[in-house]
Structure 1
Amino acid sequence: ILDSIAQGRHPAEAVLKAWGQQNRYAGSKDRRAIADRVYLVLRARGRLSWIMGGREDGRALVIGSLSALDGLPLDQIEALHSGDGYGPRPLSKQERFRIMAGAGDLPGWVAAGLPEFVVEDFKATFGDSWTEEARALMQPRAPIDLRVNTARVFVEAVAAELAEAGLSPTRAPWSPVGLRLPAEPPPNVQALDAFKDGRIEIQDEGSQVVCALASAAPGMTVVDYCAGGGGKTLGLAGAMQGQGRLVASDVVQKRIDNIRPRLVRAGVEAELRVVGPNGGGMEDLNDAADLVFVDAPCSGSGTWRRRPEDAWRLTAEEVARLHALQVRILGQAARLVRPGGRLAYVTC
């Protein structure tokens, strides 16, 4: 599973789901244990690779995790790698040596859990507290944030409903329409009636807050220029209260198609458009929008707690490519803003 994640671009969650579907013999507890191990390894990937002499294959990372994260002594790790039955093959001499040698003195980027090339930016941004910021970004498991569809229900009513279902919701610190569930045990939100009926959506509080700050309002013409999966489209629609014109666009047809059922479930409407790579297909909205909301393609560093695999896929070259793309998108989106209108630019 770890090798598949490293070699591809799919989210770890999707790779785990596909593995479970292809290996039905694994029960729910087994799948849960495997998922926990995968995410544990991904969050500590830099440290584990360092301990294992620079190896980045799944086997090495798991062996390193048994020693560094679980604190198992060498003899117990060897017992788990007996090669008997379906067990993994015995440890090599090099693997034994790496476990016995331990971590040693870790470079700052390894200890912080960051890709090496981003460290200087972190130091420049956060100063002496950069390692604490890095650990907070990478290591804790992210809570589950929910956005309440206040067109259908009050936040307090949803909180009570979730509590009756055995969950432990709290109010989100900043979003007035947000609720937060602890990451452990992981809740199956999509199985809840409140989700199926469109009364809640899974959405990080940061996304909820930027929708509020964009200040969409009833009667406006609003464009969600890089709509993606449509989460912020729903947030903007809620602020507009069914009055005005909301246009959601993206360059990928599949993303647009995925928004449709979410709109229906939430009971809101939006025009959906596929645009060309140079912004074609939006000319009728030039100088017409009160608000253009641009959630630009980016490094995704703000989501690394939830998707730690993305930290290790990012390269300096990819950051440069994304910067050039963002500049182009910003110029395209700016053409749609009416004089005196607002252009809201967001990255995570």
Structure 2
Amino acid sequence: MHRLLATSAADIIHAVFEQRKVLDHSLAKAFQANPKWGKRDRNFVAETVFEVVRWRRALAFLAQDESTPALCAAQWTRMGYDLPEWWQYDGSDAETIKAREAELAEQPRAVRESIPDWLDALGSEELGESWDAELAALNQRAPVYLRVNTLKTSPAEAIDWLASYHIPAHEVSELPNTLVLNPGKTLPKSLRLDGRVEIQDAGSQMIAPLLEPQANECIIDTCAGAGGKSLHLAALMRGKGKIVAMDIVPKKLQELQRRAKRARATRTIETQLINPEAIATYESIADRVLIDAPCSGLGTLKRQPDLKWRIKPATIQRMRGIQQECLQNYSTMLKPGGRLVYATCSILPSENRQNVDHFLNNAPFKLIKECPVSPAATGYDGFYAAVLEKLPTS
């Protein structure tokens, strides 16, 4: 174990816990600042950071100390490293850490699964007996899933292309045009910028097809962000028709435009800053509307373990209000008889079906079907989608 790498990992962890920095961004900045780190170096830092953040409370129990150096010591012991003399920390020594592993299973769920007490209580309240399985699944490491951009290539061609860079990938049998990389494999930035494949979790790839998009239709993606689902819709429409990708953040739409160019989807996708004027302009225009609403993101904890330490109960309450506003305001852009898909990357019913029921009580829509994506059942990120149809006006 190299001292510089160990110290760098601890610095990132400290920034995540104490300064509420986003893990992915902090790790990317560290890699950019240290271009001489080799693959093994980056893997060591990344694994240390992700696993310490993921297992914070369990590691604190093992080390009998909550400081970052002690948490790192416990994680490295789990990883099979001998702790070097130069790593100074308070708390249990390596042998005690190993011995306390047997006691961890007897600790409260919030400790052994490493989540805040309030979040454990909320999950138990909303999901009941299924919370145990969902929480355990959300603590597993996430594989990398890719969506093949059929505007540029096919799954077989994409597999061969990735193999030429020594990146084994396999088709996911239950999802068309979806690939998964071997455990521990990632997609280099140079290949991410090619446009043949997009990194997109398998659960996320289940959302766009629910719209059943048809060529030459007008589809509005109201919370498009950087455009993952807009690009998917463009491929499903075979590049024919119009997708209006909307968001409140101009930088995200600019990134979407760059991605659309790489994906050969610029003729299909146009971007629009969403505001009351834009909503009024597109009133009753769209054949289909996607509302991939802002949410707690609790379905993505396996990829974003830092999220459970950053969000607060008030955050989730605020998100519920935003979700209801999105349904009420953005649904007006759909034609009568058109299809609306409301989606989140949360597994909480209060962000999902409860919002849909509230909306249906106050709007001329009917529920066609639901598509909850369970991390425990699928191994994917947690998602939810409801398919609604707008009733014709009398």
TM-score range normalised by the length of the shorter chain: 0.7 to 0.9
- Aligned-pair distance for 1:100? 8.8
Q: In 2, are the aligned partners of 1:112 and 1:131 still within 8 Å (CA)?
A: no
- Aligned to 2:328, which of 331, 335, 346? 331
- Aligned-pair distance for 1:242? 2.3
- Aligned to 1:247, which of 236, 244, 248? 244
Once residues 144 and 70 of structure 1 are traced to their aligned partners in structure 2, the CA distance between those partners, rounded to angstroms, is 22
Structure 2 residue aligned with 1:321: 318
Structure 1 residue aligned with 2:297: 300
Structure 2 residue aligned with 1:191: 190
Q: Does 1:119 align with 2:120?
A: yes
Structure 2 residue aligned with 1:216: 213
Instruction: After superposing the two structures, state which structure 1 stretch, 45-54 or 288-297, moved more.
Output: 45-54
Once residues 337 and 130 of structure 2 are traced to their aligned partners in structure 1, the CA distance between those partners, rounded to angstroms, is 40
- Deviation readout 1:249-282 (Å, 9 max, x if unpaired): 1111111111111000000121111123xx4433
- Aligned-pair distance for 1:96? 5.3
- Aligned to 1:13, which of 14, 18, 24? 24
Once residues 256 and 129 of structure 1 are traced to their aligned partners in structure 2, the CA distance between those partners, rounded to angstroms, is 37
Structure 2 residue aligned with 1:161: 161
Structure 2 residue aligned with 1:65: 75
Once residues 23 and 150 of structure 1 are traced to their aligned partners in structure 2, the CA distance between those partners, rounded to angstroms, is 36
- Aligned-pair distance for 1:128? 3.8
Q: Does 1:102 align with 2:103?
A: no
- Aligned to 1:38, which of 37, 49, 54? 49
User: For residue 148 of structure 1, what is the amino acid of its counterpart?
Assistant: V
Specify the SS of the correspondent of 1:235: helix
Once residues 21 and 232 of structure 2 are traced to their aligned partners in structure 1, the CA distance between those partners, rounded to angstroms, is 26
CA RMSD of aligned residues (A): 2.5
* Matched ranges for 1:252-267 at <5 A: 252-267=249-264
Instruction: After superposing the two structures, state which structure 1 stretch, 319-328 or 57-66, moved more.
Output: 57-66
- Aligned-pair distance for 1:222? 0.6
Could you state the TM-score of these two structures normalised by the residue count of structure 2?
0.76
Once residues 117 and 96 of structure 1 are traced to their aligned partners in structure 2, the CA distance between those partners, rounded to angstroms, is 31
Distance 1:41 1:219, change over 3 A: same
Q: In 2, are the aligned partners of 1:294 and 1:346 still within 8 Å (CA)?
A: yes
Once residues 232 and 35 of structure 2 are traced to their aligned partners in structure 1, the CA distance between those partners, rounded to angstroms, is 38
- Deviation readout 1:166-209 (Å, 9 max, x if unpaired): 3322212432111111231x2234333xx444221111111111
User: For residue 320 of structure 2, what is the amino acid of its counterpart?
Assistant: H
Runs of at least 5 residues in structure 2 that lack an aligned partner in the other structure: 1-11, 346-394
Once residues 160 and 33 of structure 2 are traced to their aligned partners in structure 1, the CA distance between those partners, rounded to angstroms, is 38
User: For residue 63 of structure 1, what is the amino acid of its counterpart?
Assistant: A
Specify the SS of the correspondent of 1:4: helix
- Deviation readout 1:147-181 (Å, 9 max, x if unpaired): 11112222222223323433322212432111111
- Deviation readout 1:38-58 (Å, 9 max, x if unpaired): 112122112123444562x42
Q: In 1, are the aligned partners of 2:222 and 2:290 still within 8 Å (CA)?
A: yes
Structure 2 residue aligned with 1:137: 138
Once residues 6 and 110 of structure 1 are traced to their aligned partners in structure 2, the CA distance between those partners, rounded to angstroms, is 17
- Aligned-pair distance for 1:112? 2.6
Distance 1:70 1:156, change over 3 A: closer
Distance 1:96 1:253, change over 3 A: same
Once residues 320 and 125 of structure 1 are traced to their aligned partners in structure 2, the CA distance between those partners, rounded to angstroms, is 14
Identity of aligned residues (%): 31
- Aligned-pair distance for 1:7? 3.6
Distance 1:151 1:17, change over 3 A: closer
Instruction: After superposing the two structures, state which structure 1 stretch, 118-127 or 104-113, moved more.
Output: 118-127
- Aligned to 1:48, which of 53, 56, 59? 59
Q: In 1, are the aligned partners of 2:149 and 2:195 still within 8 Å (CA)?
A: yes
Equivalent residues, number: 328
Specify the SS of the correspondent of 1:308: coil
Runs of at least 5 residues in structure 1 that lack an aligned partner in the other structure: none
- Deviation readout 1:86-134 (Å, 9 max, x if unpaired): x44x334x55598598364311122233332232443355544532321
- Aligned to 2:338, which of 338, 341, 348? 341
- Aligned-pair distance for 1:29? 2.7
User: For residue 37 of structure 1, what is the amino acid of its counterpart?
Assistant: T
